[in-house]
Structure 1
């Protein structure tokens, strides 16, 4: 999956000429930001390639080292300030600092520029190798909390063995509040839907305009345990867009489940295992097929994509009990989606009966234990009482 795009931009200041390049690379990074993508970050490389009478020429390259977070439309914005003091250079030039990166909104925090080994460049004809005069690296890491104060997606669950459909938790991403905040959501049956969406689009805001739901999330991921075979089991995954303001281009989904080490077949989605710790293969990245479903359209009849996953059973671990068939975590475009509470998961039809029987057995056992202890204590008390009576009578005889 292509995680970044390429562009070339050039501009001048009174002292600096900068060339910008956004690209992918195998550039090494040691910064970490989460357990599923420990080396995920965006690195800015600032290369001074030549000196000028009033400054220098620099090539700035931005590398996206995040496995499942790409830059969405309308793109990225990079900013910085200049240090007041000149850099410790052979020629006069200012050092950049206080980098800010929006991609497209907030969420990234950039560290200070660090001097690293100068970059080497190969000429277009491949005959010569040149080297930058100086090179700085700046590492930017992402925080979902900084990007937005509320979640952006949620998960609902269902199964073939239970009629219950577990919805996204109520008010996951917000609550319907059209009385005090009119326009906070859009009713899909409203006759004014088209005009409302058109008016909101003119405002050119990044804030989602969502369909009125109980969860109020822009994105819902539904995981349905569909079929149970002798040696396999099948799951259907559906991603629904409730955001009228956003088409998600080149979306991706990260799912954590212990049976991904035996994923046999995938329909209409692409798949890549994510195993940063090598010996654990329980996480997968899924994304759409190019020109087929890699574009998740805005809210409406076409605002969903779906696929089915076929897993081979491992008899030593496979079970439908205790919610084992449902995912542990789900990320959409790099943001953690809110799961329902575990006690709300669809359960096997006889699981509730077994649980009630277990509680009854436990209660009977407890009462029996208490009764036995009471009887034993009563017997000890009776023996002590009889002994006291006998001793008392013997003492009375001696006195006579």
Structure 2
């Protein structure tokens, strides 16, 4: 009896352990602050607050956003930064950005604050903002390039004057509940943390100003939180096969079945690509009707096989009639990308998430040439070719080795076709001779044998 009781206790303990492990795994998978990208394990958006001077009832601070993600841009309509004040703070004035709402400032009679909202949301100014409202690294409509693509375009700053906040390091309370919004959901921010005071260069870069107090907020991206479906897919083809492996049906979900449009739709005669102000709601996508219903399709074509090199053609096609992709990026994982010899009409940069592995690279458009991927239509595609030197120990055309392992467009992973649907080598390349070949060989051998017999 004691033995059975002990076994039952062990079984219950093991069951509890499995339940706890499952719950912990769920928290890891959905925890927004701990999102992990295997191709960019340290990528994040860092928001830094630097108090530069005290005022009669608060402080003047510089707020800077750094997009430290290697290949994920923040696209139009750009970032929106929100938070909740810890006390009853107000925003007296701003330069380089503006609050989307003023809120209730009725109790102020002489000087009206810029915003009295307890949970303000702030946006970058648009290009061409008045000079007296501009600030360093401002006025790009909230668009941030990735750190790997263009570090200078991955930084955005604004100045904020805060009142009713306290006038010393001991009386100032850090804002809470930071939110980084933008072209869509997906970003989650951790709590603000005090860090050593920052030394900031002046505009002429000849003098350093020491911040009186600094704190950081780290925001990470999760594709799972952004959308339950991918936004892009991959199709494949090869010179040795007539077969084209298309994107899987409903690769990006079938929820747009009722709203997609055909190429000859009347709605396309209207101006569906009209410009939208920052304050406008982001327009819903208008997708071309396809079997995959994705915004973007990436096509990988195995073009040539030389003695020492092989060549791939890459095409990116936009199926969204309402969206241009500015400063787009394409990330591909393939073992032979460590031997890229030449890339035509795209820029290329290898990504090194781990020191011993170099199998991932980022492609992006040449400035003022194809860095803008137009909306769906005749101009809604960009193309390039990649020449790679063979690694003769691993290179093969068999079993789909020449096709990519992972593909990301603008930071989101694209849906790949199932491996058993890839274009395969012709049967003659790896199977015994066909019946026709056998018959031809037999006829030739018979005639040759007959000539020998009759001659002798």
Q: TM-score range by the shorter chain?
A: 0.7 to 0.9
Specify which of 187, 194, 198 is matched with residue 108 of structure 1. Answer: 187
Contact preservation (8 Å) 2:59, 2:167: no
| 1:132 Cα deviation after fit | 1.1
CA–CA separation in structure 1 for the residues paired with 2:77 and 2:36? 24
CA–CA separation in structure 2 for the residues paired with 1:59 and 1:95? 14
Would the alpha carbon gap of residues 122 and 287 (structure 1) be closer, same or farther in structure 2, given more than 3 Å must change? closer
Specify which of 308, 333, 346 is matched with residue 423 of structure 2. Answer: 346
With 148-157 and 325-334 compared, the bigger mean Cα shift is at: 148-157
Is 2:79 the partner of 1:76? yes
The match for 1:52 is 55
Contact preservation (8 Å) 1:176, 1:213: no
| 1:88 Cα deviation after fit | 10
| 1:74 Cα deviation after fit | 1.7
Contact preservation (8 Å) 2:287, 2:320: yes
The match for 1:237 is 314
Contact preservation (8 Å) 1:55, 1:92: no
| 1:149 Cα deviation after fit | 2.4
Instruction: Tell me the secondary structure at the aligned position of residue 176 of structure 2.
Output: strand
Is 2:174 the partner of 1:99? no
Instruction: Tell me the secondary structure at the aligned position of residue 399 of structure 2.
Output: helix
| 1:317 Cα deviation after fit | 0.6
Query: So what's the TM-score if we normalise by structure 2?
Result: 0.66
What is the CA RMSD across the aligned residues, in angstroms? 2.7
| 1:207 Cα deviation after fit | 3.1
Specify which of 180, 183, 188 is matched with residue 263 of structure 2. Answer: 188
Specify which of 274, 293, 297 is matched with residue 370 of structure 2. Answer: 293
The match for 1:398 is none
Instruction: Tell me the secondary structure at the aligned position of residue 286 of structure 1.
Output: strand
The match for 2:254 is 175
CA–CA separation in structure 2 for the residues paired with 1:133 and 1:199? 45
Contact preservation (8 Å) 1:257, 1:328: yes
Contact preservation (8 Å) 2:256, 2:293: no
The match for 1:302 is 379
Would the alpha carbon gap of residues 139 and 205 (structure 1) be closer, same or farther in structure 2, given more than 3 Å must change? same
| 1:95 Cα deviation after fit | 1.9
The match for 2:46 is 43
Aligned residues: 323
Structure 1 unaligned spans of 5+: 1-29, 358-400
With 121-130 and 216-225 compared, the bigger mean Cα shift is at: 121-130
The match for 1:197 is 272
CA–CA separation in structure 1 for the residues paired with 2:428 and 2:35? 41
CA–CA separation in structure 2 for the residues paired with 1:149 and 1:245? 21
| 1:275 Cα deviation after fit | 1.1
CA–CA separation in structure 1 for the residues paired with 2:183 and 2:236? 31
Give the structure with higher Rg (CA).
1
Q: Give the alignment of 1:1-400 within 5 angstroms.
A: 33-84=36-87, 89-90=168-169, 92-124=171-203, 128-175=207-254, 181=258, 184-195=259-270, 197=272, 204-350=281-427, 354=431
Query: So what's the TM-score if we normalise by structure 1?
Result: 0.75
Cα deviation, 1:232-280, whole Å, max 9, x if unaligned, reads 1111000000000101011110000001111111110000000121221
CA–CA separation in structure 2 for the residues paired with 1:139 and 1:321? 44
| 1:176 Cα deviation after fit | 7.2
| 1:312 Cα deviation after fit | 1.1
CA–CA separation in structure 1 for the residues paired with 2:200 and 2:255? 55
CA–CA separation in structure 2 for the residues paired with 1:318 and 1:349? 18
